[in-house]
């Protein structure tokens, strides 16, 4: 058994290939419904230029990162939620919601941080934010995105993720339950909420829900690189997939063959004895060099998240797109065909075949157009405009926004938004300036007149 | 009285092991909330590691571009083309059994293995790296044998030098001195030897406690285990103590792997890992046989067969 590790290592490493090379940022692209409706105007990359795409894929350079603490105490909380729906057999491992908490030893404010699309409650981006917030004296609770399969199964009241209001309601209810079950030694003096990408939009909507229900008294909310229209943002990613990879499964296979050959040649040219993490990171740097390659990585990573959302919703609603509602898959059944069919389906297909039919049926007076309007930050525009406790950080070259959307954010939030020149989508998360601004906003020190 | 006690101690151990196993199989979803303390997060060290890799990468890219011209003249291995890539399907004739074993591994890991490994991760890091180096040093015996069988004498000599240096100056292998004098570890094994001589990975195989593998890699594991016992370096592999040794080795291995079953939350995790594992091994195989006649690409044949 002396070499057992390699096997597991491999898995971890290769998962991180999809996660590191491809997913670095994209795992958090925005979400939700797009479809038969207005295809996003303009280029699929929104406001992004080449540098922005690169930053989106590779993230903040280590040397630009804000100082982070050596160690941060960490516990995980696995919680069964009373309203959970019956769990489909193939999701046997997702019965309980898993979140992570880092508690201060003394009374302190709590920062709740929500991941971007498809992310669990312990992504590397959350780890960066956790470090910065904990060092600044917060208890930190990190939560998965409502689009993460573990959340959909354990916490969603619908099984159909991607609706801004419904997802945020589920998130709010889960937070109420979690805070009620925290050990008494964790003393909370105030509650702030933040999130990146789609998680940013979720965070702001959760605060607005709390403003009506008063269960938590959330103080400040901060959105980091949020989408404005979920549908427009996602349409951009659909379009990016088609332009950078192609429309069908043959295109996915072509991309796979190219990548395989590139990795094999790099490996054969090296004298490495194992295809390990450092090799993969190096390979990512030399395989991903052009705008088309950055775009393919971003689009593919988003698509892999979509496959999971789509499958769960198909199963929960009995839509029958890739599963048979009469004979749902059992534990141990092969899901290969479902995965293969889903990976060539765009978000527009999710919207038109599962999402829209479900909400048309369950929501009075809903129409396709109203669903699109309901998935814009406009639904909380009044609060964003008038309540001084909402903040945002974003970049002028974020690929999930276009110029009018960015202007809308600036008009709505006024002095409570910072727009950096560079960074793409989350490509400056954790850098010195960003962390400094984040902490000032959350502490209520933002834009105070100098004394 | 004395003899009764002598009998009961191993009994107690057996009972403890049995109850751990039972606990793992019964699942642990009895309470509505479970809070589990984890080893601390280390954001500063993570970022430092990323910075280090970035620096090494920049250096490697620079020296690579400098040496490309000369390397091309020397007999360069033929390039792999996209058409040479294996099918996206994977050869998995034992899928039913494999999926069952995967689920068992996930439950066992969650209930026992990972908990023990997380406890181990709280030990001081010099202690842990000493343990890790110690087992890495023992593995050099197997590396030497296999590099010889692969007809790669230079690599074999390197492993022998590492064994010699680390066992002496490195205090029985606790310190990897050889790495500091530019002789980094280059682990290999029976599976790599088989691959060198053209044996295909064969059917995908999930091994209990070990995880994703292939038939050839499984045979390789048994071979590595057998070789270590046959050589029996420093008489470490005889008697009951050897089981403790293997136990510590397993925990050390697990603690060094940043993987958690179903952290993806995805029902496709089995398919994803199988896909990635087999492609990784095939690329590594092609690195071992750089100049061999490439197999004719047959897209209808699943990868690994």
Domain boundaries, chain A: 5-61+232-371, 65-231+377-442
Q: Do B277 and A10 touch (CB under 8 A)?
A: yes
A15: left (phi over 0), alpha (psi -120 to 50) or beta: alpha
What gap in Å lies between CA A147 and CA A309, rounded to an integer? 6
What gap in Å lies between CA A15 and CA A280, rounded to an integer? 11
Q: Do B80 and A264 touch (CB under 8 A)?
A: yes
- A77 contact residues in B (CB cutoff 8 A): 33-36
The owner of tokens 């030399």 is: A286
Joined together, the tokens standing for residue B183 give: 């002789």
What gap in Å lies between CA A300 and CA A286, rounded to an integer? 18
- A431 contact residues in B (CB cutoff 8 A): none
Short-list A424, A338, A347, A395, CA closest to A24: A424
Nearest to B259 among A12, A61, A95 (CB): A12
The DSSP element (H or E) to which A239 belongs, if any, is: helix A230-244
pLDDT score, position A33: 36
Evaluated on CA atoms A247, A250, A251, A253, the torsion sign reads positive
Q: Do B209 and A4 touch (CB under 8 A)?
A: yes
Nearest to B96 among A127, A261, A332 (CB): A332
Q: Are B133 and B176 in contact (CB under 8 A)?
A: yes
What gap in Å lies between CA A265 and CA A205, rounded to an integer? 48
Backbone angles phi, psi at B212, to 5 degrees: -55, 135
Evaluated on CA atoms B58, B63, B66, B68, the torsion sign reads negative
Bridge partners of residue B34, in order along the sequence: A78
Q: Do B266 and A285 touch (CB under 8 A)?
A: no
The DSSP element (H or E) to which A101 belongs, if any, is: strand A97-102
- A131 contact residues in B (CB cutoff 8 A): 41, 43-44
Distance from CA of A70 to the nearest CA of B (A): 5
Q: Are A314 and A323 in contact (CB under 8 A)?
A: yes
Short-list A29, A97, A87, CA closest to A239: A29
The owner of tokens 């009506």 is: A212
Q: Are A287 and A21 in contact (CB under 8 A)?
A: yes
Q: What is the ipTM of this complex?
A: 0.89
Q: Give the residue on A whose Cα is nearest the Cα of B98.
A: A332
- B253 contact residues in A (CB cutoff 8 A): 4-5, 8
Q: Domain A65-231+377-442 is of which CATH architecture? A: 3-Layer(aba) Sandwich (3.40)
Evaluated on CA atoms B107, B110, B111, B112, the torsion sign reads positive
Q: Do B138 and A10 touch (CB under 8 A)?
A: no
Q: A41: Cβ–Cβ under 8 A, 6 or more apart, which residues? A: A402
pLDDT score, position B3: 45
- Strand order across the A218-224 sheet: A417-420, A390-395, A218-224, A188-196, A108-114, A139-143, A97-102, A72-79, B33-41
List the Cα angle A27/A32/A36 in 5-degree steps.
130
Q: Do A124 and B54 touch (CB under 8 A)?
A: no
Q: For the segment B6-25, what is each residue's pLDDT rounded down to a tens digit?
A: 445 556 666 666 665 555 45
Instruction: Kindly give the parts of chain A with pLDDT less than 70.
Output: 1-43, 448-451
pLDDT score, position A90: 97
Joined together, the tokens standing for residue A259 give: 């990548």
What gap in Å lies between CA A260 and CA B84, rounded to an integer? 9
Q: Are B255 and B117 in contact (CB under 8 A)?
A: yes
What gap in Å lies between CA A136 and CA A133, rounded to an integer? 5
Q: Give the residue on B whose Cα is nearest the Cα of A4.
A: B210
Q: Do B273 and A14 touch (CB under 8 A)?
A: yes
How far is residue B294 from each of residues A266, B198, B298, B305, measured CA to CA in Å? Answer: 17, 11, 11, 15
Q: For the segment B136-156, what is each residue's pLDDT rounded down to a tens digit?
A: 999 999 999 999 999 999 999
Q: Do A75 and B35 touch (CB under 8 A)?
A: yes
The owner of tokens 């979720």 is: A202
pLDDT score, position A305: 94
Name which of B41, B115, B269 to mutate to probe chain A: the one with the most chain A Cβ atoms within 10 A of its Cβ: B41
Q: What is the mean pLDDT of residues B262-284?
A: 95
Distance from CA of B2 to the nearest CA of A (A): 36
pLDDT score, position A212: 96
The owner of tokens 């500063």 is: B44
Q: What is the mean pLDDT of residues B76-81?
A: 84
Distance from CA of A11 to the nearest CA of B (A): 6
What is the secondary structure of A380-442 as a DSSP string?
GHHHHHH-TTEEEEEETT-TT--HHHHHHHHHHHGGGEEEESS-TTTTTTTBHHHHHHHHHHH
Name which of B68, B135, B232, B268 to mutate to probe chain A: the one with the most chain A Cβ atoms within 10 A of its Cβ: B268
What gap in Å lies between CA A231 and CA A78, rounded to an integer? 32
| Alpha helical stretches, state H, chain B | 2-26, 43-73, 95-108, 114-120, 125-149, 153-168, 177-180, 190-196, 215-231, 241-255, 269-288
The owner of tokens 């038939």 is: B215
What gap in Å lies between CA A142 and CA A282, rounded to an integer? 30
Joined together, the tokens standing for residue A250 give: 């043959």
Q: For the segment B39-71, what is each residue's pLDDT rounded down to a tens digit?
A: 999 999 999 988 888 787 777 767 666 655 444
Nearest to A93 among B39, B42, B262 (CB): B262
Short-list B39, B40, B62, B58, CA closest to B50: B58
What gap in Å lies between CA B42 and CA A128, rounded to an integer? 10
Name which of B57, B67, B77, B266 to mutate to probe chain A: the one with the most chain A Cβ atoms within 10 A of its Cβ: B266
Q: Do B284 and A267 touch (CB under 8 A)?
A: yes
Evaluated on CA atoms A241, A244, A250, A254, the torsion sign reads negative
Distance from CA of B5 to the nearest CA of A (A): 32
What gap in Å lies between CA A411 and CA A282, rounded to an integer? 42
Q: Are A191 and A216 in contact (CB under 8 A)?
A: yes
Q: For the segment B204-252, what is each residue's pLDDT rounded down to a tens digit?
A: 999 999 999 999 999 999 999 999 999 998 888 888 888 899 999 999 9
């Amino acid at each position: 058994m002396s070499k057992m590790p390699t096997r597991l290592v491999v898995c971890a490493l290769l998962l991180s290939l999809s996660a590191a090379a491809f997913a670095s940022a994209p795992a958090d692209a925005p979400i939700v419904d797009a479809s038969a409706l207005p295809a996003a105007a303009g280029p699929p990359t929104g406001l992004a230029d080449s540098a922005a795409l690169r930053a989106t894929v590779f993230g903040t350079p280590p040397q630009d990162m804000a100082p982070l603490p050596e160690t941060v105490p960490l516990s995980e909380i696995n919680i069964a939620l009373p309203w959970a729906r019956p769990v489909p057999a193939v999701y046997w491992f997702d019965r309980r919601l898993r979140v992570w908490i880092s508690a201060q030893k003394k009374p302190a404010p709590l920062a709740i941080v929500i991941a971007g699309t498809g992310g669990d409650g312990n992504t590397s981006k959350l780890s960066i934010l956790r470090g910065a917030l904990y060092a600044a004296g917060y208890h930190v609770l990190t939560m998965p995105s409502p689009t993460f399969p573990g959340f959909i199964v354990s916490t969603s009241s619908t099984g159909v993720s991607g609706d801004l209001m419904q997802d945020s309601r589920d998130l709010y209810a889960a937070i109420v339950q979690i805070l009620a079950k925290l050990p008494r030694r964790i003393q909370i003096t105030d509650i702030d909420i933040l999130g990146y990408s789609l998680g940013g939009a979720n965070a702001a909507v959760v605060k607005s829900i709390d403003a009506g229900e008063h269960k938590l008294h959330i103080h400040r909310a901060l959105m980091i690189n949020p989408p404005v229209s979920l549908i427009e943002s996602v349409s951009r990613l659909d379009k990016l997939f088609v332009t950078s990879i192609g429309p069908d499964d043959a295109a996915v296979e072509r991309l796979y063959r190219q990548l395989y050959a590139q990795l094999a040649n790099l490996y054969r040219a090296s004298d490495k004895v194992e295809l390990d993490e450092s090799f993969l990171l190096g390979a990512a740097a030399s395989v991903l060099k052009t705008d088309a390659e950055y775009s393919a990585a971003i689009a593919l990573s988003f698509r892999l998240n979509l496959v999971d959302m789509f499958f769960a919703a198909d199963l929960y609603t009995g839509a029958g797109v890739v599963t048979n509602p009469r004979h749902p898959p059992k534990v141990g059944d092969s899901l290969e065909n479902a995965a293969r069919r889903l990976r060539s389906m765009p978000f527009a297909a999710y919207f038109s075949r599962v999402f829209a039919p479900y909400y048309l049926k369950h929501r009075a007076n809903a129409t396709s157009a109203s669903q699109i309007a309901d998935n814009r930050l406009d639904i909380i525009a009044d609060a964003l405009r008038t309540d001084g406790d909402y903040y945002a950080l974003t970049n002028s070259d974020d690929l999930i926004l276009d110029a009018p959307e960015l202007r809308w954010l600036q008009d709505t939030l006024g002095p409570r938004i910072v727009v950096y020149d560079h960074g793409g989508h989350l490509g400056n998360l954790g850098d010195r300036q960003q962390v400094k601004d984040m902490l000032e906003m959350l502490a209520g020190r933002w834009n105070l007149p100098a004394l | 009285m004395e003899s009764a006690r002598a009998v009961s101690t191993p009994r107690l151990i057996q009972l403890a092991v049995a109850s751990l196993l039972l606990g793992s199989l019964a699942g642990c979803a009895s309470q509505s909330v479970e809070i589990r303390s984890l080893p601390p997060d280390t954001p500063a060290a993570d970022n430092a590691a990323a910075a280090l890799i970035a620096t090494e990468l920049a250096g490697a890219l620079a020296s690579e571009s400098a040496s490309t011209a000369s390397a091309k003249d020397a007999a360069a291995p033929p390039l792999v083309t996209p058409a040479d890539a294996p099918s996206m399907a994977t050869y998995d004739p034992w899928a039913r059994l494999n999926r069952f074993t995967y689920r068992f591994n996930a439950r066992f890991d969650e209930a026992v293995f990972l908990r023990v490994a997380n406890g181990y991760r709280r030990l001081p890091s010099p202690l842990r790296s000493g343990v890790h180096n110690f087992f890495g040093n023992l593995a050099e015996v197997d590396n030497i044998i296999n590099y010889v069988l692969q007809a790669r004498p230079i690599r074999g000599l390197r492993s022998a030098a590492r064994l010699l240096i680390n066992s002496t100056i490195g205090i029985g292998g606790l310190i990897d001195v050889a790495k500091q004098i530019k002789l980094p570890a280059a682990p290999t094994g029976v599976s790599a030897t088989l691959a060198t001589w053209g044996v295909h990975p064969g059917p995908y195989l999930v091994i209990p406690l070990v995880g994703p593998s292939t038939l050839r890699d499984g045979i390789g594991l048994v071979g590595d285990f057998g070789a270590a016992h046959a050589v029996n370096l420093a008489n470490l592999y005889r008697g009951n103590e050897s089981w403790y040794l293997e136990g510590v080795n397993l925990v050390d291995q697990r603690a060094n792997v940043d993987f958690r079953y179903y952290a993806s939350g995805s029902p496709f995790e089995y398919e994803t890992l199988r896909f990635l594992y087999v492609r990784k091994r095939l690329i590594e195989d092609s690195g071992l046989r750089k100049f061999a006649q490439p197999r004719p690409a047959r897209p209808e044949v699943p990868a690994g067969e």
